[in-house]
Amino acid sequence: MELRKTIVIKVGSSLLANTERLTPRWAFMHNLMEDIARLREDGAKVILCSSGSVALGLNMIGERPETAGLRDKQAAAACGMPLLLNAYKQVAHEYSFEIAQVLVTLRDLEDRNRFLNTKNTVDRLLDANIMPIINENDTITTEEIRVGDNDRLSAKIAQMVQADELIILTQVDGLFDKDPSDPSAVMVEEVIDVSPYLSVTDGVSSLGSGGMLTKIQAAHMAQNAGCDTRIAHGEYERPVTSVLNGERRHTKVLADKHPASAWANWLTDRLQMAGSIVIKPAAAAALEDGPQNIGREDVLSIQGPYVKGDVIHVYDESGKELARALTNFSSDETMALARNAGMSALQLLGYETGGTLITAKNMIVLSERHLPWDLPADDAMTEVSS
pLDDT at 183: 85
- Residue among 321, 202, 305 nearest 313 (CA): 321
pLDDT at 346: 85
Mean pLDDT over each residue of the chain, to the nearest integer = 90
Is the distance from CB of 192 to CB of 125 less than 8 angstroms? no
The Cα–Cα gap between 252 and 304 comes to 37
Is the distance from CB of 56 to CB of 12 less than 8 angstroms? no
Burial of 111 by CB count in 10 Å (0-12 exposed, 13-18 middle, 19+ buried)? middle
pLDDT at 138: 76
Q: pTM, whole model, 2 decimals?
A: 0.91
pLDDT above 90 for 48: yes
Average pLDDT estimate for 154-164: 96
Tens-digit pLDDT profile for residues 249-302: 999 999 999 998 999 999 999 988 999 999 999 999 999 999 999 999 999 999
129 conformational bin, left if phi > 0, alpha if psi -120 to 50, beta if neither: left
Residue 257: C-alpha distances to residues 228, 263, 379 (Å): 10, 17, 40
The Cα–Cα gap between 197 and 107 comes to 29
The pLDDT confidence band at residue 66, using thresholds 50, 70 and 90, is: confident
pLDDT at 141: 64
Tens-digit pLDDT profile for residues 189-218: 999 999 888 876 655 444 344 478 889 999
The Cα–Cα gap between 358 and 348 comes to 18
Is the distance from CB of 75 to CB of 61 less than 8 angstroms? yes
The enclosing H or E element of 241 equals helix 241-244
